[in-house]
Amino acid sequence: MKISFASFKPMHDEIEYEIKFKFEEIYKRNWFILGDEDKKFEQEFADYCNVNYCIGCGNGLDALHLILKGYDIGFGDEVIVPSNTFIATALAVSYTGAKPIFVEPDIRTYNIDPSLIESAITEKTKAIIAVHLYGQPADMDEIKRIAKKYNLKLIEDAAQAHGSLYKGMKVGSLGDAAGFSFYPAKNLGSLGDGGAVVTNDKDLAEKIKALSNYGSEKKYHHIYKGFNSRLDELQAGFLRVKLKYLDKWNEERRKIAQKYIAGINNPNVIIPVEADYAKHVWYTFVIRSEKRDELQKYLNNNGIGTLIHYPIPIHLQQAYKDLGFKTGNFPIAEKIANEILSIPIWYGMKNEEIEYVIDKINAWK
Ligand SMILES: *Cc1c(COP(=O)(O)O)cnc(C)c1O
């Protein structure tokens, strides 16, 4: 059997007609930037996230960057980010001129460990970015309490967690503002790049709308030295089609995850946990083993596609060598990077494929 790490085919086959219809509609309308589709998607996605405002933008990295700029975070400031995340979380901070301050994750959930945040706060700290990594929300109540105590902005990086819940509440509604990515592989993905900011903060929403469109609220009147980062009409239209299916697709991911959790029993493999406060949406299903490289080779030899999210922690990336970190500085993030392996989890995976993955993992010695 051959099982690719990911496949969009079953998902896209199901909505092919609707997507093509939407394309025709927009093609004939001949309006491609900042139009009806974008406006409608923003309203629908804000409703979906249970917030008042949504601003479409170019991608998830821009969404985070726009939030930080919207809050005037820049040179001389510090922003707390998890040591275990995709590099975009830190890059958004670096783009503003502020400094990312890494805080280690909880090894059980892979998300930022709230008990380690306070010791990282200085008089320069302006914000905390909580990442809902792999589709599971961070422990937001505790993080919120700390943000409040030190008067810090609490920003969600929800790029991997569309539709996931924390104590019954949608991610995107848990902090001051949240950034989403619609990169095609994300739980809600466009057919290209896309992103969005969601927030209940009216002033921030208005400022970000302007910042993302050359800093203008009115054509050719520029209040800020803004950016060009907009969600184009085609992507907004495609996302409107896909948003209607998101809950169904997430449920399917949850079913696959439950089968994996019930079925994988190899003592040399650690399986992920769903925290009791969480409704996980399984952007990735991440297992762990001290002999990860051998496991990956074994699975690949058996036709099972795998990936590592992510093999090098940010503090050891060449791009961040200016921060002066070395191996050993963030041992939990390093241990995770050395041991994790993401296995296939996608809408349309067949039962026999799921069982084949389970059987192969269990047969590994
Ligand atoms: C994908 C991702 C981003 C960036 O989104 P892009 O649309 O690729 O710019 C940011 N943070 C996390 C955690 C991500 O997974």
Residues 32 and 181 in one domain: yes
Residues 352 and 261 in one domain: yes
Q: What is the pLDDT of residue 189?
A: 98
Tell the residue nearest (CA) to atom 5 of ligand 1.
Answer: 60
Verify that 173 and 251 share a domain, yes or no. no
Question: Residue 182 Cα, ligand 1 centroid: separation in angstroms?
Answer: 8
181 ligand 1 Cβ < 6 A:
yes
Query: Does 115 share its domain with 171?
Result: yes
Q: For residues 231 and 289, state if they share a domain.
A: no
pTM score, whole prediction:
0.98
Question: Are residues 197 and 51 both part of a single domain?
Answer: yes
pLDDT at 48: 98
Q: Where a domain ends, among 224, 240, 256? A: 240
Boundary of a domain, candidates 213, 240, 267: 240
195 Cβ below 6 A of ligand 1: yes
Judge if 211 and 249 occupy the same domain. Answer: no
Give tens-digit pLDDT for 232-291: 999 999 999 999 999 999 999 999 999 999 999 999 999 999 999 999 999 999 999 999
Based on the domain organization, do 235 and 277 belong to the same domain? Answer: no
Cα 195 to ligand 1 centroid, rounded to whole Å: 9
Q: What range does the domain containing 86 cover? A: 8-240
User: Residue 71 falls within a domain, yes or no?
Assistant: yes
Q: Any idea which of 183-192, 217-226, 246-255 has the lowest mean pLDDT?
A: 217-226
Question: Are 267 and 331 in the same domain?
Answer: yes
CB 155 near ligand 1, within 6 Å? no
> Is the shortest distance between the CB of 86 and ligand 1 below 6 Å?
yes
Which residue's CA is minimally distant from atom 6 of ligand 1?
60
Specify whether 310 is located in the same domain as 180.
Answer: no
Confidence of residue 128 (pLDDT cuts 50, 70, 90): very high
Q: What is the pLDDT of residues 22-75, one digit of tens each?
A: 999 999 999 999 999 999 999 999 999 999 999 999 999 999 999 999 999 999
Active site (catalytic) residues: 186
Residue 295: inside a domain, yes or no? yes
Asked if 97 and 74 sit in the same domain, the reply is: yes
Pocket test for ligand 1, best of 64, 155, 183 (most atoms within 8 A of CB): 183
What are the two backbone dihedrals, phi and then psi, of residue 279, each rounded to the nearest 5 degrees?
Answer: -110, 105
CA distances from 236 to 52, 215, 243, 357 (A): 18, 21, 10, 35
- Return the pLDDT at 164: 98
Question: From ligand 1's centre to the CA of 342, what distance in Å?
Answer: 17
Q: How far is CA 342 from the centre of its chain?
A: 15
The CATH number of whichever domain residue 153 belongs to comes to: 3.40.640.10
User: Does the C-beta of 194 come closer than 6 Å to ligand 1?
Assistant: no
Ligand 1 centroid to 321 CA: how many Å?
Answer: 21
Q: Is 85 in the pocket of ligand 1 (CB under 6 A)?
A: yes
Query: Which of 240, 259, 286 marks a domain boundary?
Result: 240
